[in-house]
Amino acid sequence: MKLNVLFVIYLLSYSCHALYYQLPFDNHQLKSTLKLKTIYHHASANGPIPGLFRKLEIADQEVAVNQQQDTAYGVSGHFAAISRPNYNDIDLLRSMRDQGRLARWSEPITYFESAIELVPDVTDRKTVTALAMMTNNAYLDIHLNDTEWYDLGTPWQLNASFGWQSDGLRGHIYATDDNSLVVVSIKGTSAGLWTGGPTGEKDKINDNLLFSCCCARISRAWTPVCDCYKDNEYQCESSCLQKKIQRSEFYYDSALNIIDDIQKKYNASTLWITGHSLGGAVASMVGQTFGIPTVTFEIPGDRLPSTRLHLPVGKGMDLPVWHFGHTADPIFIGVCTGPASSCWYGGYAMESRCHTGKVCIWDTVKDKNWRVDIRSHRVRDVIEGILSKPEDFPMPKCVPETDCADCSLWQYHDDRDDKERKSTSTLSSTTTTHTQQPPTDPWSP
Among this protein's residues, is 277 annotated catalytic?
Answer: yes
DSSP string, 99-168: HT---TTSPPP--EEEEEEEEE-TT-HHHHHHHHHHHHHTTS-----GGGPEESSS-----GGG-GGGSS
* Rounded Cα gap, residues 55 and 261, in angstroms: 10
* Rounded Cα gap, residues 246 and 283, in angstroms: 19
Q: Is there a contact between 292 and 269 (Cβ–Cβ < 8 Å)?
A: no
**Tens digits of residue pLDDT in 88-141:** 666 666 665 554 444 443 455 556 788 899 999 999 999 999 999 999 887 776
Q: Own/partner pairs for 424-431, CB < 8 Å, 24+ apart?
A: none
Task: Say which of 277, 284, 352, 376 is annotated catalytic.
Answer: 277
The pLDDT, as a whole number, for residue 343 is: 83
The pLDDT, as a whole number, for residue 115 is: 86
CB atoms within 10 A of CB 350: 26
Between strands 181-187 and 270-276, the pairing is parallel
**Tens digits of residue pLDDT in 139-154:** 776 555 554 555 555 4
* Rounded Cα gap, residues 356 and 306, in angstroms: 8
* Rounded Cα gap, residues 418 and 169, in angstroms: 40
Regions in the chain scoring below 50 on pLDDT: 5, 7-27, 61, 64-68, 99-106, 147, 154-164, 191-192, 194-199, 420-445
The pLDDT, as a whole number, for residue 158 is: 41
